[in-house]
Amino acid sequence: MAREAAQWPPEETLSLWKREQARLKALVVDRDTEAWQRDAAFLGLQRVGGVDVSFVKGDSISACASLVVLSYPELEVVYEDCCMVSLTAPYVSGFLAFREVPFLVDAVRRLREKEPRLVPQVLLVDGNGVLHHQGFGVACHLGVLTDLPCIGVAKKLLQVDGLENNARHKEKIRLLRAGGDSFPLIGGSGTVLGMALKSHDHSSKPLYVSVGHKISLEAAVRLTQGCCRFRVPEPVRQADIRSRDYIRRTLGVPGPPAPGQERSQKVQRPKVCPKEGSEEPEGEGRPPEAHS
């Protein structure tokens, strides 16, 4: 029987979230802070992390929070942490972090305690950073709370500050010819909120990269491209694959999918909770903003 998430939070909870969001937003650093970020080949970067939260179809309470660490530039998994969790907060557009980030922070804490030498030097998050309604998406939230450089990588455009997935935007996407091609996402305020990136030569859809914490947009885009064997950067892709596999093994969900079908047959998240990276339901367990 399907289980439903908590009821819509009371106004006082939303007010508390807004105040906390504003407090943490003031701590965001949107520039390069590490020497490797300023190096053309990212010399000195050895470990990149990826996080994901996967849901069980029909159950918006039970989820699997995963953290993986990959070697760089080899992109081989050197650490994996998957843990079933029970979500207590509902999905609210613009506030995905309050629903999911505590479990991801716990995963980073466990890694620091168990294998400090494997702590990633940067985290890639399936969601948005400063490309967000309040300029403080899940990648910013996680970055500030873990004090790690963080990059937001969303698969859908979060339509904020005048950004629209309209004909003009689609034409710009069509003009992206090769992997690595990109164009800036400039809001109505004139602020560059992120970049649309063609991450792979054979990908027809871009990724939307934005700063999370302690890295510049230029370095974030270059590193995201450098982590892509397929459309989605490998740290995020591996976190997603392994979290879904963990759900199958733990709860007996049918699987695994046949080779080449793992993306289309991923464990579906509750329809009531899209993803924040797009701030609209995206089928990632949260609504599109779920990528925020």
117 three-class SS: helix
- Quick one: pLDDT band at residue 252, thresholds 50, 70, 90? confident
Average pLDDT over residues 158-176: 96
Query: pLDDT value at position 3?
Result: 55
**Measured between alpha carbons, how far is 16 from 98 in angstroms, rounded to an integer?**
11
pLDDT at res. 127: 96
Cα–Cα dist 196/240, whole Å: 21
| Torsional sign, CA 142, 11, 18, 127 | positive
Q: Say if residue 37's pLDDT is above 60.
A: yes
pLDDT at 256 over 70: no
User: What stretches of the chain show up as alpha helix (H) in DSSP?
Assistant: 11-25, 96-114, 138-146, 167-174, 217-226, 234-251
Take residue 161 and report the two structure tokens written for it: 């500050």
pLDDT band at residue 120 under the 50/70/90 scheme: very high
The number of residues in the chain equals 292
From CA 131, how far away is CA 210, in angstroms rounded? 6
Is 227 or 55 the better-scoring residue by pLDDT?
227
Categorize the per-residue pLDDT at 41 as very low, low, confident or very high, splitting at 50, 70 and 90: very high
| pLDDT at residue 272 is higher than 80 | no
Domain boundaries, the chain: 17-249
- Note the pLDDT tens digit of each residue in 201-251: 999 999 999 999 999 999 999 999 999 999 999 999 999 999 999 999 998
Q: What pLDDT score was predicted for residue 4?
A: 55
Taking residues 261-276, what's their average pLDDT?
A: 38
Instruction: Tell me the average pLDDT across 249-271.
Output: 53
Higher pLDDT, 245 or 288: 245
What does pLDDT average to over the chain? 88
Q: What is the pLDDT of residue 258?
A: 43
17-249 has which fold? archaeoglobus fulgidus dsm 4304 fold (3.30.2170)
Q: Is the pLDDT of residue 291 over 90?
A: no
